[in-house]
């Protein structure tokens, strides 16, 4: 087992479940000290992957409080993974102003708010990196995902803008774009469908590889981008989508 993240402090939002939990476990196993910002502890502490810091990334006050807690325990942050996010279904006619505000506040402003709060401690690291969890919906149109897609498109652009702003300080910023991934998120989506088995088959068929992406595959891509060996990698968008956004194969 590699110890490449020995001595690293990593902060991961949405670390209690799914992709964030998978990253937390892998980084902990490679030597990192992990702080997970999440509404709920989920499995973070019970799995031994990290310390839960209760936080709503949609709230300035909550994020300020969370980083006060973290800075009382560590003197630097090496890696920030902005992974927490929420979904929304439907086209623009179904989209209410309230839902727009909620999703943009958590997904987009939350990414900015947490990054800004982390920067003073990231500046103390010689290996600082930020990785944002974006989505395939930022680069390909999928039906009935208007608000969610717009929020992820904004995260992609924000990733590039932050990479430009922070390059002089050698803080790298990249994002991953997962395709439909096997996490509790998809379990919730399927439970709302009138025929969950049929819906699942449709989601699998939409992936060129005919299967969902695993949380571990996304975690591996995040860790690649966060790795101190990737000093020349900034402002990149790494797809982990089984070819969904880039391939058009014969049926």
Ligand X SMILES: NC(=O)c1ccc[n+]([C@@H]2O[C@H](COP(=O)([O-])OP(=O)(O)OC[C@H]3O[C@@H](n4cnc5c(N)ncnc54)[C@H](O)[C@@H]3O)[C@@H](O)[C@H]2O)c1
**Set 5, 52, 67, 148: catalytic member:** 148
Active site residue 148: yes
Q: Which of residues 168-187 bind ligand X (CB under 6 A)?
A: 178, 180-181, 183-186
Rounded Cα gap, residues 177 and 221, in angstroms = 9
Kindly indicate which of the ranges 13-21, 68-76, 138-146, 242-250 contains the residues binding ligand X, using the contact rule CB under 6 A. Answer: 13-21
Gap between the Cα atoms of 226 and 206, Å rounded: 29
Q: Name the residue among 149, 166, 246 with its Cα closest to residue 207.
A: 246
Minimum distance of ligand X from residue 241's CB (angstroms):
8
The residue with tokens 């947490």 is 114
Residue from 10, 20, 163, 238 that binds ligand X (CB under 6 A)? 20
Question: Contact region for ligand X (CB under 6 A) — 3-11, 25-33, 83-91, 163-171?
Answer: 83-91
* Segment near ligand X (CB under 6 A); pick from 55-63, 122-130, 167-175, 190-198: 55-63
Helix, strand, coil percent content, the chain, rounded in steps of 5: 45, 15, 40
Cβ pair 237, 175 in contact under 8 A: yes
Task: Give the Cα separation of 179 and 141 in Å (integer).
Answer: 12
Q: Which of 10, 57, 118, 222 binds ligand X (CB under 6 A)?
A: 57
Give yes or no for residue 19 binding ligand X (CB under 6 A).
yes
Q: Where are the beta strands (DSSP E) in 14-146?
A: 33-38, 51-54, 79-82, 129-133
- How do 129-133 and 79-82 pair as beta strands? parallel
Give residues 201-240 in contact with ligand X (rule: CB under 6 A): none
Residue with Cβ nearer ligand X (136 or 171): 136
Catalytic residues: 148
List residues binding ligand X (CB under 6 A): 13-14, 16-20, 37-40, 42, 55-58, 83-86, 106, 133, 135, 178, 180-181, 183-186
């Amino acid at each position: 087992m590699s110890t490449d993240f020995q001595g690293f402090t990593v902060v991961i939002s949405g670390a209690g479940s799914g992709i964030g939990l998978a990253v937390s476990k892998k980084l902990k196993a490679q030597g990192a000290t992990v702080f997970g910002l999440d509404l709920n502890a989920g499995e973070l502490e019970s799995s031994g992957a990290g310390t839960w810091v209760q936080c709503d990334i949609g709230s300035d006050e909550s994020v300020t409080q969370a980083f006060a807690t973290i800075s009382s325990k560590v003197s630097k942050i090496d890696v920030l993974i902005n992974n927490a996010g929420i979904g929304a279904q439907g086209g623009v006619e179904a989209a209410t102003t309230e839902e727009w505000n909620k999703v943009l506040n958590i997904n987009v402003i939350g990414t900015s708010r947490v990054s800004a709060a982390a920067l003073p401690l990231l500046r103390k690291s010689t290996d600082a990196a930020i990785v944002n969890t974006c989505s395939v919906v930022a680069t390909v149109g999928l039906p009935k995902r208007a608000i969610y897609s717009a929020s992820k498109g904004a995260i992609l652009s924000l990733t590039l803008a932050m990479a430009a702003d922070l390059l002089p300080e050698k803080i790298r910023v990249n994002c991953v774009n997962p395709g439909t991934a096997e996490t509790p998120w998809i379990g919730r989506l399927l439970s709302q469908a009138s025929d969950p088995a049929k819906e699942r088959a449709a989601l699998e068929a939409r992936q060129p590889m005919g299967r969902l992406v695993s949380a571990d595959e996304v975690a591996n891509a995040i860790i690649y981008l966060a790795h101190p060996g990737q000093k020349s990698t900034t402002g990149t968008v790494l797809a982990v989508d089984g070819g969904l956004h880039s391939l058009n194969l014969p049926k």
